Chains A and B, each alone.
Chain A
Amino acid sequence: MVQERRILYEHLDVPDINTFDVFRQYDGYTRFEKAIAEYQPDDIAKMVMDSGLKGRGGAGFSTGLKWSFVPKDIKPCYLCCNADESEPGTFSNRYVLEKNPHLLIEGILICCYAMGIETTYIYIRGEFTLGKKMLDAAIKEAYEKGYLGKDIRGTGLNIDIYSHPGAGAYICGEETGLIESLEGKRGQPRNKPPFPAVEGVFGKPTVVQNVETLCNLPFIVGNGVEWYTQMGPTYADTRANPPTPDPNTGTKLYCISGDVNEPGVYELDLGLTCSELIEVAGGLRGEEVKAVIPGGSSAPILTHYELDTRLDFTSLTLAKSMLGSGGIIVMNETRNIVDCLLNIMKFYAHESCGQCTPCRWGTPWVRDIVQRIADGNGRKDTMTRPKFGVAENGRWGDTGETEEIYEDLDLLESVANNIANVDTMTWNTICVFGIAVSWPAVSYMRKFRPEFEATIREGKLVTLPVAEATVPPEENYAYQQRFVPKEFADL
């Protein structure tokens, strides 16, 4: 069985690790001291680039690359730590904040040193009252011990950290929504460009980084890039010449919930498969896996045929899904996918910020269609139509067969795809919340179409056995590309 490798979470359960003295006993702040004693800021930025660290908040964007976009000549520059963890199925940042807040502070210090930043705001979710209390206490202690404030440890560095509470809006996790919210406004995302790295909070360059991403920094500096890149696969994209490395390095705090025996956070090297993770989490609760959501509720669902997909950024992107925030939700054979989709669509309809018409109107519309289907009033036509697909001659066209017309399923796909199109990956909205709506809507419907059709036909929620509920692999629009292809082989 795959073994856990605890790095960020190694000392999480040490009693009183939230206090400065105990944290110090476990190498606390030595990595920051090493950074300022041995490296220039640019060296740190280069190390982060070479480590291949990708953002853990959702987008999976290379952290080193993001830092390189920040203009050097505009000051002040800000760091916003994204601690607004609200993606359903994600709960790893909470434990860092509640149990080991000094680790986050050390990560922030290293980032500030590398980027010449003097002010950091930690945007912490409003509901995290305990987390905020622990974090504030740790910040206070760090000030008292001279690791924050003016002229830190006699180096001339001035770094301030402030915590800033949110107030219960999911969209404030989106980086530009977070910035608006931090400025004291409604958390409505901004158009990009300009990207926050160039023009962010208070009109100044801003680095937005997730808690987990920042917590990786002390270990990259402390143990070196070589040590770090050993963990997790690095693929080589040989479509470029010379091949470009595609790193999925480091560990990930996988949050697993739903139908497993031991839900929780497991820190593992990136790149294990979905079934391995279920195994690590005490195995399935139930008889059979029906579906797995691999990266928080926004991620397209995986069927039981796709459980050998590796849970890393590249593999999941190829499988037309995403690692997202690393929140894995497992569903067993008793679950009804229509019902699950309804739950998720209610969430998105509630959380849309209301700026863009396709999202403001489209999301409740999708919810209403799913509600109608779940209530047993899904619409189906009495006529049939010619079925299009790959015909006998191997080309796309009329297959000579006929198919039934499920009006509501066509409508569902059409509305969702007009918020954001999952096939072309283009969206008609300001932020990618639109994709987060249409991805689940379209993927659940396409991959579990028999269950949707049966529910409409019978006029009530019908839970089919797993094999019948799932479309077979050859009809699954996302199935073919689950594996990293040859031109992406391990480096």
Chain B
Amino acid sequence: MSDELIQIETPFAFNEENQREFDELIGRYPVKEAAMLPTLHIAQRQAGYISPAVMKYVAEQLEVTVMKVKDVVTFYPMFFEEPVGEYVIRVCHTLPCALRDCKGVLEHLKSKLDMDIASETNLAKGTTADGKFTLMKVECLASCDVAPVIMVNDDLYKNLTPEKVDELLAKLAS
């Protein structure tokens, strides 16, 4: 993808606070490219997802090609290339959680929110129409002692049962 081919509607730029964080970050590494992951995290926090405009901006900041940024974004599951809901719900479904009935939690969430599960290539499928929730399955969240667990944005919820899921959803809806 050469830079001219990207259709960019609204250009992206860091806000003041994020710019400061980025400036501090860049000094940590002998090459600018190494700041790629933290920079993309900051950008995603500000923009919600990594759009072509964000990629172009990050590429300029790190002095690499847009293709390189795209290369990285497509490799890591935590970077989204499409808009996601206000609350991203990640349900762990690896073995220790499966032994503690994560399936029940997932099914309950699905039926409560009346939605499908997002896949990595199709986030829209698992996002509610009002843009409030995105539901996805993830691999072990390193909290198997309190399984089954889910993450809602940055917060971890432990030892879940359908009742606790109800409480949580009520809290998020309010």
User: Which stretch in A80-88, A356-364, A471-479 binds the other chain?
Assistant: A80-88
Contacts A91-B145, A185-B72 given; indicate if A257 touches B96 (C-beta within 8 A). Answer: yes
Interface presence of A168 (CB below 8 A)? yes
A183 within 8 A of partner (CB): yes
Q: Which residues of B contact A170 (CB under 8 A)?
A: 139
Tell me whether B142 and A90 are in contact (CB under 8 A). Answer: yes
* Number of residues of chain B lying within 8 A (CB) of chain A: 43
Say whether B147 faces chain A, with CB atoms less than 8 Å apart: yes
Q: Nearest Cβ distance between residue A161 and chain B, in whole angstroms?
A: 10
B139 touches A350 (CB 8 A): yes
* B33: interface (CB < 8 Å): yes
A-contacting residues, B104-143, CB 8 Å: 138-143
Cβ contacts under 8 Å, A335 to chain B: 99
Query: Max chain B CB contacts within 10 Å: which of A167, A181, A264, A331?
Result: A167
Q: How large is the interface on A (under 10, 10 to 19, 20 to 34, 35 or more residues)?
A: 35 or more
B165: interface (CB < 8 Å): no
Question: At the interface, yes or no: B37 with Cβ under 8 Å from chain A?
Answer: yes
Contact between chains at A186 and B95 (CB < 8 Å):
no
Residues 257-287 of A at the B interface (beta carbon under 8 Å): 257-259, 263-265
Asked whether, in the complex, the Cβ of B37 is within 8 Å of the Cβ of A166, the reply is: yes
Please measure, in the bound complex, the distance between the C-alpha atom of A198 and the C-alpha atom of B154, giving whole angstroms: 37
What 1/0 mask marks residues of chain A from 157 to 178 whose CB sits below 8 Å from any chain B CB?
A: 0001010111111100000000
Whether B6 sits at the interface, judged by CB under 8 Å, is no
Across the interface, do A202 and B31 meet the contact criterion of CB distance under 8 Å?
Answer: yes
Q: What residues of chain A lie closer than 8 Å to B41, measured between beta carbons?
A: 126, 165, 167
Q: Are B95 and A329 in contact (CB under 8 A)?
A: yes
> Is B31 in contact with A257, judged by CB distance below 8 angstroms?
no
Complex-state Cα separation, A430 to B33, whole angstroms: 24
What is the bound-complex CA distance between A351 and B75, given in angstroms? 10
B18 at the interface (CB under 8 A from A): no
Which of A90, A91, A127, A259 has the most chain B CB within a 10 Å cutoff? Answer: A127
Asked if A244 is at the interface (CB within 8 A of a chain B CB), the reply is: no
Q: When the two chains form their complex, are residues B142 and A126 in contact, meaning their CB atoms are under 8 A apart?
A: no
Q: Mark A268-312, 1 if CB is under 8 A from B, else 0.
A: 000000000000000000000000010001000000000000000
Against B, the Cβ 8 Å flags (1 = close, 0 = not) of A78-117 are 0000000111111101100000000000000000000000
Closest CB pairs A-B (n = 5):
A184-B36, A167-B76, A257-B144, A168-B78, A88-B140
A interface list, Cβ under 8 A from B: 85-91, 93-94, 125-130, 160, 162, 164-170, 181-187, 202, 255-259, 263-265, 293, 297, 327, 329, 331, 335, 340, 343-344, 347, 350-351, 353
- Which B residues lie at the A interface, using CB under 8 A? 28, 30-31, 33-38, 40-41, 62, 64, 68, 71-72, 75-79, 90, 93-96, 98-100, 138-147, 151, 154-156
